[in-house]
A and B are shown apart, each in its own frame.
Chain A
Amino acid sequence: MNFTNFDLDQLFSMGDDSNPLLMIVWILPIILFVFYGQQIQLFVTSREIKKGLKKLDNFREESRTELINYVKNNLKVKNDPVKKIDKFLEYFTIMPVDMDPNGIVDKVHHTVRSREDYTRSHVKSLSPEMNDIELNKIQTLLEIASSLQMIYKIVNHMFLTAKKQNNYPLILPLQMLLPFIMEQAEAMIEAIPAFKSDQPVGDGIGPMVVGKMMLEHEKETIAFQTSLSKIDFEDRKLFLLKAEGPASTVGRPADGLEKIMSENKIDAIIMIDAALKMEGEDSASIAQGFGAAIGGIGTERFQIEAVATTNNVPIFSIVVKQSVKEAITLMTEDIADTAEIVRLQLNEMILENTKSGQSVVIIGVGNTSGVPQ
């Protein structure tokens, strides 16, 4: 055969619409995409999600192993702790029914507190001689491991359901949410070394500012794991409140505030906390505002707002912006450097918003790991 005069135009008859071979070449993919488009998209998306799931599974296993190794190597445990730890990791919390929202905050508050107390007493049973710093550390590590376990289970459930039903639209929300979920999970796994070594995390900037002001002053425990110091500043009385460091805890600032306000006449409340920055905002930038700056499930904020409203006291806030990862991993130099600037801004805020002879409560909100007072 002579292949030297091979003509592509002639083979597909580009100028002729009636060639059946050309029609098949064009029509076949169209039919394929019309009838099997979703399955093809499902296949491509599944591959992406599988990669994320594998990472989440590794994170879950790594956090569990880190926790078990820490307990085995640093605590005097009587029996093998693996079974108990695995049982802790499976604990769940059923939130109260909110069909009738009346009294829901008290119910949530009670459920969360009960869970905290129950976990604390059971973690303590691993090694009854462990001190409070170790106990808080194990609780934090347990919280990280159980959160990663829960994230993996939920993502895996959504993925397997979509695959089982061969349902592409069902997998779409997961594909959209996965980058955010991965960001949170990566932050959690990277937080483990900081908590294990009692180092300050980004969220500890509020306690760091207040803790420094409390140095060399008398301290008292005002609420569970919450410390109070009373100092004088420019003819004003300051009540400094923070979680009891250097243990990894956020304390109970709302209970502390309630107690202070029941015994003293307070004229202003100032809260210092870390806040999540928006995309495009600079990390470690400082902002001032009104209202209670405190995260969590919302019960502490509710309690603080309620006590401030009842006593007609304004709440001012200073926040240091940071990402999710920066908030729970070892503090960056930029964030640590803001401590002095925040302190100067706090002094200004006190002088601008209160008069001579008045009293102010200053709350350093956040995890106080590695931050004593």
Chain B
Amino acid sequence: MIFSKKKITTEYTVEQCTKCGTLTKRKFNHGDVLFATLLKCASCDGHTRIEKIFGETVEQ
């Protein structure tokens, strides 16, 4: 269609620290799965866990 806009979906992963609860949103990396325990939290000595993986669609 001439007037239809192209839709682009960006994938995101949200990590949450199991200790302090800090949320971090970043781009999805291949191999990310929900509830996977990742690196140490940047704000405390706890570990982060993947809480959400989702897509955001924008029209261009």
Using a CB–CB cutoff of 8 Å, the interface residues on chain A facing chain B are: 194, 197-200, 208, 211-212, 215, 245-246, 329-333, 335-337, 339, 370-373
A245 to B33 alpha-carbon distance, docked (Å): 10
Using a CB–CB cutoff of 8 Å, the interface residues on chain B facing chain A are: 9, 11-12, 28, 30, 33-36, 52-57
Q: With A199-B11, A330-B9, A330-B11 as given contacts, are A336 and B54 in contact (CB-CB < 8 Å)?
A: yes
Residue of A nearest to B55 (CB): A330
CB pair B55–A370 under 8 Å, yes or no, is no
Residues of A within 8 A of B35 (CB): 211-212, 215, 372-373
Residues of B within 8 A of A337 (CB): 52
Q: With A199-B11, A212-B35, A215-B35 as given contacts, are A331 and B55 in contact (CB-CB < 8 Å)?
A: yes
Residues of B within 8 A of A246 (CB): 33-34
A333 to B28 alpha-carbon distance, docked (Å): 13
CB pair B33–A333 under 8 Å, yes or no, is no
Q: With A330-B9, A330-B11 as given contacts, are A208 and B54 in contact (CB-CB < 8 Å)?
A: no
A373 to B34 alpha-carbon distance, docked (Å): 9
CB pair A208–B34 under 8 Å, yes or no, is yes
Residue of A nearest to B29 (CB): A197
CB pair B56–A336 under 8 Å, yes or no, is no
Residues of A within 8 A of B55 (CB): 194, 199, 329-333
Residues of A within 8 A of B30 (CB): 197
A179 to chain B, nearest CB (A): 14
Residue of B9, B53, B57 touching A200 (CB-CB under 8 A): B53
Residues of A within 8 A of B57 (CB): 332
CB pair A331–B54 under 8 Å, yes or no, is yes
A344 to B34 alpha-carbon distance, docked (Å): 19
CB pair B54–A370 under 8 Å, yes or no, is no
A74 to chain B, nearest CB (A): 12
Residue of A198, A333, A370 touching B56 (CB-CB under 8 A): A333
Residue of A nearest to B33 (CB): A246
CB pair A372–B54 under 8 Å, yes or no, is no
Residues of B within 8 A of A200 (CB): 34, 53
Residues of A within 8 A of B54 (CB): 330-333, 335-336
CB pair A199–B53 under 8 Å, yes or no, is yes
Residue of B nearest to A198 (CB): B33
Residue of B nearest to A370 (CB): B33
Residues of A within 8 A of B52 (CB): 331, 333, 336-337, 339
Residues of A within 8 A of B56 (CB): 332-333
Could you show 18 A-B contacts with beta carbons less than 8 Å apart? A199-B11, A199-B53, A212-B35, A245-B33, A330-B11, A331-B52, A331-B54, A331-B55, A332-B54, A332-B55, A332-B57, A333-B55, A333-B56, A339-B52, A370-B34, A370-B53, A372-B36, A373-B35
